[in-house]
């Protein structure tokens, strides 16, 4: 509907009227880098509590889409909304504090700090320098950190520096950091890259468990993993949406087979 309206040149409808349950609303988003269209008129709606998988060949614009949502990249055109907030006008820190957490493709955390300290920094709490100076870890916060460590299986490594964790453990720690932020929307970029089959399975179960209370968008190459998520799938190609539906639906879509799966 929104796409037709856009084509007709109508103003964008306020989010509330257009899609009642939408948490994230992208409409006609384009990003142009030096003439290269990384995103091309992309529209996407993620509803409250939804788990959504996004797949697509390399260069399809998956990471650029994440960058646009988290304020790292400004779109050349289009609407990006999180509830009633216009994300194209906000910076990374503000967007993160609105309740959008992001896990990066390459796990990034603070190597000089311990697992516990990494989670403590991610814990939802006042973020200003003076609040941080006065910060005292109370029992509730400690329990939150401990239960998250248990959830991602890092309890035994609580006081090890993040820099010495294995690749899989780093992925886990980063998911743990996301959970500490208690976000309403989680953007998870390639969570199972480099994981063993068992770890992959465990991750899928964890993400399914997390969704429901919050919305989760997962970008992934691994189709087995996407199937294990059992969620709606969006296929991106050359910066636009190619197909959307269940995993079986998109796997049988001739356009998808041509550009992605059939190769």
Partner 1 sequence: MSASLAAPAPAGAGRMTLRLVLIGAMLVLAMLPVLNRLPPDSALHVSDFIVSITGKWITYAILALAIDLAWGYAGILSLGHGAFFALGGYAIGMHLMRLIGPRGVYGHPTLPDFMVFLGYRELPWYWLGFEHFPFAILMAMAVPGLLAGVVGYLAFRSRITGVYLSIITQAMTYALMLAFFRNDMGFGGNNGFTDFKELLGMPLNTPSARSTLFYASLLLLLGSLWVCGRVTRSKLGRVLVAIRDAESRTRFLGYDVTQHKLFVFVLSAMIAGLAGALYVPQVGIINPGEFSPGNSIEAVIWVAVGGRGTLVGALLGAFSVNALKTWLTTVAPDLWLFALGGLFVAVTLFLPRGLIGLFQKERR
Nearer to partner 1, 163 or 230 (CB): 163
For residues 113 and 151, give the distance between their C-alpha atoms in angstroms, rounded to a whole number: 20
Distance in Å, CB of 185 to partner 1, minimum = 13
Per DSSP, 89 falls in state: G
Q: Which is nearer to partner 1, 121 or 193 (CB)?
A: 121
> Least distance in Å: CB of 23 to partner 1?
18
Applying CB under 8 A, which residues contact partner 1? Answer: 70, 72, 91-93, 96-97, 102, 104, 108-114, 117, 120-122, 127-130, 132-135, 159-161, 164, 177, 181
Smallest distance from partner 1 to CB 246, Å: 31
d(CA 263, CA 172): 32
Q: Find out whether 151 and 144 touch, Cβ atoms under 8 Å.
A: no
- In the complex with partner 1, the residue whose CB is nearer, 129 or 254, is 129
Q: How far is the CB of 256 from partner 1 (least distance, A)?
A: 31
| C-beta closer to partner 1: residue 169 or 240 | 169
Structure tokens, 26: 């992208």
Cα–Cα distance, 29 to 239 (Å, whole number): 9
CB nearer to partner 1: pick between 62 and 232: 62
DSSP letter, residue 114:
B
Taking the complex as a whole, the smallest distance from the CB of residue 220 to partner 1 amounts, in Å, to 20
Strands 240-245 and 77-82, sheet pairing: unpaired
Could you give the count of Cα atoms lying within 13 Å of 61 in the half-sphere of its Cβ? Answer: 28
Q: How many CB atoms lie within 10 A of CB 214?
A: 20
């Amino acid at each position: 509907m929104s796409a037709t309206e856009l084509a007709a040149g109508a103003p964008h409808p306020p989010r509330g009227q257009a899609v009642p349950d939408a948490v994230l609303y992208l409409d006609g988003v384009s990003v142009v880098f030096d003439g290269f269209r990384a995103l091309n008129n992309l529209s996407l709606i993620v509803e409250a509590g939804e788990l959504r998988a996004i797949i697509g060949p390399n260069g399809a614009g998956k990471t650029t889409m994440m960058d646009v949502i988290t304020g790292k990249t400004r779109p050349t055109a289009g609407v990006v909304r999180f509830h009633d907030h216009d994300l194209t006008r906000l910076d990374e820190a503000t967007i993160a504090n609105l309740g959008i957490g992001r896990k990066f493709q390459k796990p990034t955390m603070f190597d000089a700090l311990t697992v516990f300290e990494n989670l403590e920094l991610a814990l939802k709490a006042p973020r200003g320098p003076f609040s941080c100076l006065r910060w005292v870890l109370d029992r509730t916060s400690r329990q939150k950190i401990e239960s998250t460590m248990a959830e991602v299986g890092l309890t035994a490594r609580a006081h090890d520096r993040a820099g010495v964790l294995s690749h899989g453990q780093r992925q886990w720690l980063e998911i743990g950091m996301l959970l500490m932020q208690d976000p309403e929307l989680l953007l998870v970029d390639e969570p199972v890259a480099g994981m063993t089959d068992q770890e992959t399975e465990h991750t899928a179960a964890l993400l399914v468990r997390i969704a429901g209370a919050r919305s989760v968008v997962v970008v992934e190459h691994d189709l087995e993993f996407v199937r294990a998520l059992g969620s709606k799938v969006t296929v991106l190609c050359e910066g636009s949406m190619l197909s959307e539906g269940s995993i079986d639906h998109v796997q049988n879509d001739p356009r998808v087979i041509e550009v992605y799966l059939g190769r």
